[in-house]
Structure 1
Amino acid sequence: MTERPGNESGVGSEAPECENLLGLWRVRRPSVDAQVRLRTALVAEARVRLDEVSAATRGTLSSLLPRCESGDPWAWMLLFPLVRETWGLPGDQNRWPEIENGCLVLASRAVPLADLVLTMRLHRDVQHPPDDAGTDGNRAEAALNARLERLRVRLARFADPADIASGLGLDILLAPPAVDKAADAVRSEEDRQDGPAMRVLLASPPPTGDRDFRPILDRIRTTLDGEVPLAPAPDPDDLCAALEREFPWFGAVVERVHDDLLLGARCGRTFFGLSRPLLLAGPPGVGKTRFAHRLSRLAGLPMGMVNAAGASDNRLLQGTARGWGTVTPSLPVLLMLRDRMANPLVLVDEVDKAGGSDRNGRLHHTLLSMLEPSSSRRWPDEALAVAVDLSRVVWLLTANDTGAIPALLMSRLAVVEVGTPRARDFDALFAGCLADAADDYECAVAVLPEIDPTALDAMREGFVRGRLQARQLAALIRRALVAGAKAERKLRC
């Protein structure tokens, strides 16, 4: 993108680094700094073009730009069809550099639409190659068509493909998928059978006389009998790039996860697994629990959580044995039963505050037996009355004070310190708070009320100057969303 005279975005001296962005997108993910430079340049470009669009578009565009400046990916998704009014259709070769810039920013924020549009651009290159293009177009087109089919499925989770097609002129989205359903069903079954799996129940659980527990035991026998699938290992670069975007102050944690997955893949591991249980140590309110939730979602791992601070014994983790009033299997087994996955992620939150007693059971003691490699392979579940294999469970623990954790348990953990978010992490924090609010209300971020730009500027300044902590910021964002909803209600009245 060419910097215009009088632009105040502050990126003019760095413009050469933004050239050939499609090529950059093909070979490596952009750094966080590149995302900020591109976002700033795009917002400045859009502001310059405000006079060139219709009045209706101008109003919508003006309201979206503050959200775009904050890094809200859904604002960028809404912005894209609007700027198309002056940036040209996808077939307009003169305007494609600007469109590619916008797509790169969107792709860097993990918005599927951007990935789709860039794929369609590559698809166009294959179908209408330049004179100096290579001759191996058939293979490239086949690969891109296969990728397009996968993107259709992903896109459907976020928006109606018909709306996207009409907004961007991508009619190919409306074509029926070129997939042989019978062959696809066979491939899916083969993939399920050939994927990583393991035996969890090391013997058949004996019958029970407990009428309440009997239906649960029958489900366990049916669901966990034989080989149980393992969640496959994701691409370490893709997973950790997404985590780094959302949690830039978790650099050491993300690096640890990345290197563990990378080495595991190099050694032939095909499922998601960490070499050692991971302890995230740091002050409260820095996002440790949210990081665990995002890791499980991005990696496709089922997740369960134990709040150790509120545990007076070990039953939440260990379950309860036969003979007690309520028979309950251990938490890992319950997660395996719920999702039929042998490597769920178990989060033990605030493990440094765990209670318990020798009589009622100590959470730390149960954790030790579940984390120890030799005992985890044949861990006795007292509710099932048989041994189960917990060796592939992914363990993530959080703590504020590692000094309160027994030394023996600490010796089993990979400890990574987590610092507080920095001033430059405001955009990522803000986007995360909006995403959390959208999850709570089961809607897309784009559906949330608009936050007043003045309030947003005040929150940014307060955070940058150190007057606001992450938890305070999250509470203020919720209040700003409520204020936005009230303002919208008044306008309607």
Structure 2
Amino acid sequence: MEYPHATTAIDLVLRDLREGEPVRLKAVLLTGPAGVGKSRLVRRLGDLLGIGVYRYDGSGASDNMFGGCPKAWSSSIPSAPARAINQMRIANPIVMIDEADKSGTSTHNGRLWDALLPFLERETAARHRDVSLDAELNLSFISYIATANSIEPLPAPLKDRFRIIKVPAPRILDLPVLAANVLQELAVENGEHGFVWPLAHDELEVIARAWERTELSIRKLQKILEATIEARNASAVRH
């Protein structure tokens, strides 16, 4: 298990999968403290399910552009779900609304929270009229997963449409598995798809002490591991 601290959350996210049917998950809101790996988990699920993840930055949203902009405007753009299908080239990608709790609250230019609502209802999404394309689209096979540190800022109608799942913080005993996963991800990011050297026992002990001081944040664990690899490489050069 790649995320041993989140096994229950993963089971709840995937409970809608049916053998022989296209991947289509009920709208899910993952909530938990910053750094527990919510966004990382969504990206990994997309990879394993073979459908990819289209990320929409909720923290930078201060309008209703998630739903697109009408074709009459020079800045016309299709809805985020339509763009996700176009980018992924499949009808059922995961659209991740990252940090949904941090989006703008002003209604002057519309809100992300309100723009999301019609897409979360499958019957409505199956006959969505895209304001930019001026065409009816079937967006009902898209899976929506939002992340939030807290659900308190979110309006009740939005929370009612999500299955809210708590992702707990990792434990120190999860370190060997999580560290191995992060090292593998770093290797892929650096174009090194081959073997990743395992951490030595003394390295794990040092990493564990440093990680405990970060409240066991996976985001901080990545930085610690990057520093560890740099130190290891520097030592190899000297010798």
Give me the TM-score of the superposition, normalised by structure 2.
0.91
2:138 aligned with 1:389, yes or no? Answer: yes
Match of 1:370 among 113, 119, 129: 119
Partners of 2:194 and 2:41 in 1: CA distance: 19
Q: CA deviation at 1:252?
A: 1.9
Q: Where in structure 2 are there 5+ consecutive unaligned residues?
A: none
2:142 aligned with 1:379, yes or no? Answer: no
User: Which is greater in Rg?
Assistant: 1
| Structure 1 match to 2:5 | 249
2:93 aligned with 1:333, yes or no? Answer: no
| Structure 1 match to 2:101 | 352
| Structure 2 match to 1:430 | 179
Q: What do residues 397-431 of structure 1 show as CA deviations (whole Å, max 9, x unaligned)? A: 11111111100110011011111001221112101
Question: In structure 2, what residue type is equivalent to 1:352?
Answer: D
DSSP-derived class of the 2:213 partner: coil
Q: Is this contact kept in 2: 1:452–1:484, CA < 8 A?
A: no
Q: Where in structure 1 are there 5+ consecutive unaligned residues?
A: 1-244
Partners of 1:482 and 1:442 in 2: CA distance: 16
Partners of 2:14 and 2:62 in 1: CA distance: 35
Match of 1:480 among 216, 228, 232: 228
2:167 aligned with 1:411, yes or no? Answer: no
Q: Sort the Cα spacing of 1:312 and 1:325 in 2 relative to 1 into closer, same or farther, 3 A.
A: same
| Structure 2 match to 1:398 | 147
| Structure 2 match to 1:124 | none
Partners of 1:320 and 1:356 in 2: CA distance: 19
State which drifts further: 376-385 or 481-490: 481-490
Q: CA deviation at 1:445?
A: 5.5
Q: CA deviation at 1:371?
A: 0.6
- Identical residues among aligned pairs (%): 31
Partners of 1:411 and 1:303 in 2: CA distance: 23
2:25 aligned with 1:270, yes or no? Answer: no
**Aligned positions, number:** 237
Instruction: Provide the alpha-carbon RMSD of the alignment.
Output: 2.0
Q: Is this contact kept in 1: 2:43–2:52, CA < 8 A?
A: no
Question: In structure 2, what residue type is equivalent to 1:246?
Answer: E
Partners of 1:288 and 1:445 in 2: CA distance: 26
Q: CA deviation at 1:358?
A: 2.7
For residues 259-338 of structure 1, the aligned pairs below 5 Å read 259-261=15-17, 264-265=18-19, 270-274=21-25, 276-315=26-65, 317-338=66-87
DSSP-derived class of the 2:92 partner: coil
Query: Which one has more relative contact order, counting CA pairs under 8 Å at least 6 apart?
Result: 2
Q: What do residues 417-452 of structure 1 show as CA deviations (whole Å, max 9, x unaligned)? A: 11100122111210121022112212126257x756
DSSP-derived class of the 1:478 partner: helix
Q: Which has the higher helix share?
A: 1
For residues 136-147 of structure 1, the aligned pairs below 5 Å read none
Q: CA deviation at 1:334?
A: 1.7
Question: In structure 2, what residue type is equivalent to 1:377?
Answer: A
Question: In structure 1, what residue type is equivalent to 2:191?
Answer: E
Match of 1:446 among 195, 200, 213: 195
Q: Is this contact kept in 1: 2:210–2:224, CA < 8 A?
A: no
Q: Is this contact kept in 2: 1:252–1:416, CA < 8 A?
A: no
Q: What do residues 66-106 of structure 1 show as CA deviations (whole Å, max 9, x unaligned)? A: xxxxxxxxxxxxxxxxxxxxxxxxxxxxxxxxxxxxxxxxx
Q: Sort the Cα spacing of 1:462 and 1:340 in 2 relative to 1 into closer, same or farther, 3 A.
A: closer
Q: Is this contact kept in 1: 2:184–2:196, CA < 8 A?
A: no
Q: CA deviation at 1:359?
A: 3.1
Q: Is this contact kept in 2: 1:280–1:397, CA < 8 A?
A: yes
Question: In structure 2, what residue type is equivalent to 1:248?
Answer: P
Q: CA deviation at 1:377?
A: 1.3
Q: CA deviation at 1:311?
A: 1.3
Q: Is this contact kept in 2: 1:342–1:392, CA < 8 A?
A: yes
Match of 1:467 among 210, 213, 223: 213
Q: CA deviation at 1:472?
A: 2.6
Q: CA deviation at 1:462?
A: 4.7
